[in-house]
Structure 1
Amino acid sequence: MEGRPGHRVRSVGRDDYVPAYLSLISNALSWGGSRLFLRLHGVGINEWRVLSAIVNAPGSTATRIGEELGLNKSVVSRSIQLLQTRDLVTVENFEGRRGLRLTEAGHDLHDHLLVISLKREELLLSGFSEEEKALLMSFLRRMYRNVPAMNAYDPEDQVSV
């Protein structure tokens, strides 16, 4: 492939650019999980994430769940609507706010999807020692802490990185 005259052809590659590789893995996890969950239970990965967030913090609002999961409010809203339609989630008023709780059927679905999700994680991390898993999680947490600085970067600010 030719570049523009006087310019080298160079771009980031999947195999040596961390954001590209993280996206590749993330997309594979999301698409694979969604296909499996949809086939088995008629819910996708976003609904699974919402169910899990509610189990971890019963009574959470949709806004709080969106913040916790890093999901757009409209995605969370659609997922909650689907879960309500399927009688998996209820919306209750708590001190002037709308909090979410799982129904018995919601807990049952969550528990089934949890087993599948943990098995998928086990398969993803196959061949990693416990120490390597802990090190990987420490790297991922450190990267996540760097996200605000990365997202605040603006090349027009004239500030060196």
Structure 2
Amino acid sequence: MKPETLALMSEQKTFMNIRLTYRLELLAQRAIAENDEIFLRETGCRIRELRVLRLIDDMPGTTFAKIAKETGLEKSLTSRIIQNLIAKDLVSRENSDADARIFRLSTTQKGKDVRSQARIISDELDQILHSPLNKIEMEQLDNLLEKLGEWVASDTYRTRLSEF
């Protein structure tokens, strides 16, 4: 029997598809959806807003274009998120001295405080997510994800895909 058929037959399975990319995406989507409401309640920001806030805080004076590239989000969504962060006084923007069409983004003190608060919440939520795994399993998972991450970023992986 095909593995896909076995997966569909088992009603106790969490995932109805055995493909790794599907399972990783679904797992992330489920965890993010649950956590998003907690972050909103505790910080006033959703996870995507906090990700953008973190990037801006890590790169003071960064531009919209850099943030859009780093997040991989659609430009219109990135723009709305940045506008929301500015409206909440978490991010400030000022015109570039070199080009008035470009805005430089930085976190405000309030933004830094929200980022710190979000970090504490994130650490606690990660502990809950990891709780079914013991220390050895968690180390194995980290190592396997790192290995797969390196593989997917490699030239060899891209070459293999281009040969498909």
TM-score, normalised on structure 2?
Answer: 0.73
Change over 3 Å in CA distance of 1:55–1:80 after alignment to 2: same
Identical columns (%): 29
Q: Verify: 1:75 aligned to 2:77, yes or no.
A: yes
Give the Cα separation in 2 of the matches to 1:134 and 1:55.
Answer: 29
Residue 28 of structure 2 corresponds to: 26
AA in 1 matched with 2:123: L
AA in 2 matched with 1:111: S
* Structure 2 counterpart SS, 1:99: strand
Give the Cα separation in 2 of the matches to 1:63 and 1:128.
Answer: 41
Residue 125 of structure 1, aligned match among 121, 130, 136? 130
Residue 101 of structure 1 corresponds to: 106
AA in 1 matched with 2:19: Y
Residue 110 of structure 1 corresponds to: 115
Change over 3 Å in CA distance of 1:122–1:85 after alignment to 2: same
Change over 3 Å in CA distance of 1:58–1:140 after alignment to 2: farther
Q: Verify: 1:140 aligned to 2:142, yes or no.
A: no
* Residues paired across the two proteins, number: 146
* Structure 2 counterpart SS, 1:91: strand
Residue 89 of structure 1, aligned match among 63, 88, 91? 91
Residue 4 of structure 1 corresponds to: none
Runs of 4+ in 1 over 4 A off after TM superposition: 9-13, 147-150
AA in 1 matched with 2:128: L
RMSD: 2.8
Shift of 1:53: 1.1
Structure 1, unaligned runs of 5 or more: 1-8
AA in 1 matched with 2:94: E
Change over 3 Å in CA distance of 1:133–1:39 after alignment to 2: same
Shift of 1:41: 3.3
Shift of 1:108: 1.0
Residue 5 of structure 1 corresponds to: none
TM-score, normalised on structure 1?
Answer: 0.74
What per-residue deviation string (whole Å, max 9, x for no partner) do you get for residues 49-89 of structure 1? 11111222222222212222222222211111001011110
* Structure 1 counterpart SS, 2:111: helix
Give the Cα separation in 1 of the matches to 2:42 and 2:103.
Answer: 30
Structure 2, unaligned runs of 5 or more: 9-14
Give the Cα separation in 1 of the matches to 2:115 and 2:89.
Answer: 13
